Amino acid sequence: MISERRSVRRTVRREPLIDFRSAQAARLDRVPDPEMLAFAADEGRILVSHDFQTMPGHFRQFTKFRRSPGVLLIRQDLPVGQAIESLLLIWAASEPDEWADRVCLVPSLVTIAIGGTG
């Protein structure tokens, strides 16, 4: 998973086994959405984002040609503790391929976009 630094530190502190890193650590801070989606796909990582404005559209475009491990969108105003609990639950109770080619809202897990290659 890739997400913002503060949430990452707190999530990893709660569950040290989770493979989670920030966009800053991945050198993706301020990188355009299509490049971030490609990086996540190349690394086999689910992308965690706050970008409700452009990420779903870029995701749909991206998945016309490539598979995606998935995107989890978290509202900026969601309390950090609730976001962390949701991410830990997702990590513990699901398999990565369950999120492939989907954009889902956290914490509701409603799917708002489904990609499809080919």
Residue 3: pLDDT over 90:
no
> Quick one: which of 19, 16, 20 has its CA closest to 6?
20
Distance between CA atoms of residues 17 and 45, nearest Å: 15
Distance between CA atoms of residues 68 and 38, nearest Å: 8
Cross-strand partners of 105: 73
Distance between CA atoms of residues 48 and 66, nearest Å: 18
| 7-57 pLDDT tens trace | 667 787 888 788 877 777 777 778 899 999 999 999 999 998 889 999 999
Going by pLDDT thresholds of 50, 70 and 90, the confidence category of residue 110 is confident
Mean pLDDT of 76-100: 90
Domain map of the chain by residue range? 2-114
Q: Are 71 and 91 in contact (CB under 8 A)?
A: no
